[in-house]
Amino acid sequence: MFQTRFTFAGAFHADCQKDYVTPSLLALVNMILDGANIKHQTKLANISTTTAALTVSQLLVFKSVKHARSVESTSVRHSRERETPLPLYLSLKIHAVTRRPVCMIDTLFSLGMSLSYDRLLQLTADIANGVCQRFNMEEVVCPPKLRKGLFTTGAVDNIDHNPSSATAKDSFHGTGISLMQHPSHTNGGLDRGVVVIGQDISSAKSL
C-alpha cells in the first residue's frame, strides 16, 4: 500500500480510482463489505469492485502512515504522493459547488474524507498558475476547453450593476464576452488537452 504513488496533474482519467489501489487491498475491502468469496482470494486481477469498496480502499491509502504519530501532535499530515483521487475530487467538487471557505472542507477533513483547506488552496493556486502559463505560452487568453481548428464566434455586451448609484461605491460597469464554437460531423476540432500542473513541490496558496 505504501508503494502506491499518485500525483494530480490537473485531470482524473477514467480508471484512476482502480489504478492507485492495490488489488490485494481492494480484495480485502471487498471481502469485508461483501463477505468472503473464493474469487476474491484467487483472482485478484478480476475483482468485481463496488464503488463503496473503491472509496474505502482509497481512504485507507490516503490515511495510512508508516509510523505512529506522536501523542502530543495535533496536526494531521498526509503524503502528497498518496493523495488518492477520492479526497482530491471531493474537496475540489465541494469547493466549486458551495464556495464555502472553510466550514465544509475542514469538517470533511476532520472526518478523514478530504484534503485540508490549506492544501486545497495550494492545489487551486497550482491549477490557476498552470492556466496562466498556458496563456503565456500561447500568447492569448483563451479558455482551456476551447478546441483548435473550429469556427468560433464571440458575443460582447455590457455588464451594468446598480448604475444609479450617486457615490459610485456600489456601481459596476464591465464587459462580458461569450465565445461559441461550431463543430460539425466532419470537423470536431482538436482537443488542446488539460492544463498540466507542474510537478515541483509548491506551498503557495495564492497566485
Same domain, 163 and 132: no
Same domain, 86 and 44: yes
E strand residue ranges, the chain: 152-161, 172-181
Same domain, 150 and 53: no
Residue with cell 496536526: 75
* pLDDT confidence bin for 199, thresholds 50/70/90: low
27-67: pLDDT as tens digits:
888 888 877 766 555 554 444 567 888 888 888 888 887 77
- Report yes or no on 8 lying in a domain: no
Number of structural domains in the chain: 2
Same domain, 161 and 83: no
| Main-chain dihedrals φ then ψ at residue 192, nearest 5 degrees | -85, 0
- Report yes or no on 9 lying in a domain: no
Tell me the residue type at 16: C
Q: Which structural domain range is residue 164 located in? A: 146-191
What is the SS3 assignment for 94? helix
Whether the predicted model's global pTM rises above the 0.75 cut: no
Q: Is 130 exposed, middle or buried (0-12, 13-18, 19+ CB in 10 A)?
A: middle
Distance separating alpha carbons of residues 84 and 178, to the nearest angstrom: 35
